[in-house]
Amino acid sequence: MVRHRHDLAVIGLGYVGMPLAQAAVNAGLAVVGLDANASVVASLTAGRSHVDDLSDEDVATMLAAGFVPTTDPAALAEAAVTVICVPTPLGDEGGPDLTAVRSAASTIARHLRPGSLVVLESTTYPGTTDEIVRPLLEASGLVAGTDFHLAFSPERVDPGNAAYGIGNTPKVVGGLTPACTQAACDFYARFVDTVVPTKGTREAETAKLLENTYRHINIALVNEMARFCHELGIDLWDAIAAARTKPFGFQAFYPGPGVGGHCIPIDPNYLSHNVRTRLGYPFRFVELAQEINASMPAYVVRRAQDALNEDGKALRGARVLLLGVTYKPDIADQRESPAVHVGRRLIDLGALVEFHDPLIEKWDALGLPARSVADLDAAVEHADLTILLQHHRGYDVDGLARISRRFLDTRGAATPAPGVERL
């Protein structure tokens, strides 16, 4: 029987890998974390967190319990289970860039031992675990499903969600074989309340894409409705509030300046790309949703122009203040934030753009001049137009709207009043 120093090795210590490692450590597992970024490992070793959902204190607690961050792949040979949590950004051709997944699988292969379990959690298209990861692992000379277990289990991390974390969010698991599924289920059951097995890896991979495609399409629906409701003089926010009183058959989604983050703007495209590549026809719902959601920043800028016109001002030369530039409220994560596209378009059209975000000191995403303001109230009073892009908990939206010259609310947070418009 092979003895293991670590119960779990997590490859990729980002927004997915660190919460997973924390949950495992808290359950009493011996965990090692591998990351190629030496500065990330050094920061964690010093007890500093770089992800929103873990504080420095959380990291210090993990270290005290035996968590070991490292850049040394040799640690993988001492782990009973290895989980891949590396990024899968959108590639040039519309599918996922699997560079980090391939690298992780090849690294594991060099240290793989009989009886081990390898799980891919990185989001990707159906077939990746079997067609990409398995052959790379089998370069070790071991056979998946015979000598070692292989499974896919989609990450369901929701940054900033205080109600649902790793432990109480059901964990979907699909193995290469029934035995692989059982091994993965047994592992996750050590620190997850509910484990949901699927028929295989492809079903588990598709489940993740279905979840995010569902959200992508429904957000596109209300984004398109926001446009024609504005033209027809209908308060869509009030209509949604009325519709959500139905106790069955309806789930509320809300319009906004675009979609952001690590899932909605990216993951559905993996499925669309996979359908086009393998079957030769489009996944029309996804492609239409992408078109609608991607056009929202331009629509916000058009509404900004209209708002300024009401005051007899041109957008060129106008002072525009953006409130909240992260992709989600109350977290510092800026990945794929629609604020970037809004800001760039405003600057391209000649606006003098400033921004405020209580969680961001420096905003480099624009690549163009956008000054951070220190005195929020003074900045709002001075701006020709204030645009709420993200409703952080710390914003007194109605108070800010009252002192503004003109206020455009893309999140439905402000009480309707003269000079205040909602998307």
Positions marked catalytic: 263
Helix (H, G, I), strand (E, B) or coil at 263: coil
Q: At what angle do helices 201-232 and 284-294 cross, to 10 degrees?
A: 50
User: CA–CA separation, 62 vs 39, rounded Å?
Assistant: 18
Tokens 């609608």, residue? 292
CA atoms within 13 A on the CB side of 16: 20
Output the CA torsion sign for 208, 116, 73, 141: negative
* Residue 73: count of CB within 10 angstroms of its CB: 17
User: CA–CA separation, 336 vs 321, rounded Å?
Assistant: 20
User: CA–CA separation, 41 vs 13, rounded Å?
Assistant: 8
Longest distance between any two alpha carbons in the chain, whole Å: 79
Residues with Cβ < 8 Å from 182, sequence gap 6 or more?
A: 175, 197
Query: Tokens at residue 178, please?
Result: 């029934």
Strands (E), 335-395: 352-356, 371-372, 385-388
Query: Tokens at residue 238, please?
Result: 């009030």
Q: How far is CA 8 from CA 15, 127, 246, 279, 344, in A?
A: 17, 24, 45, 38, 43
CA atoms within 13 A on the CB side of 279: 8
Query: Tokens at residue 155, please?
Result: 């990450």
Query: Tokens at residue 131, please?
Result: 């067609």
Output the CA torsion sign for 289, 291, 297, 300: negative
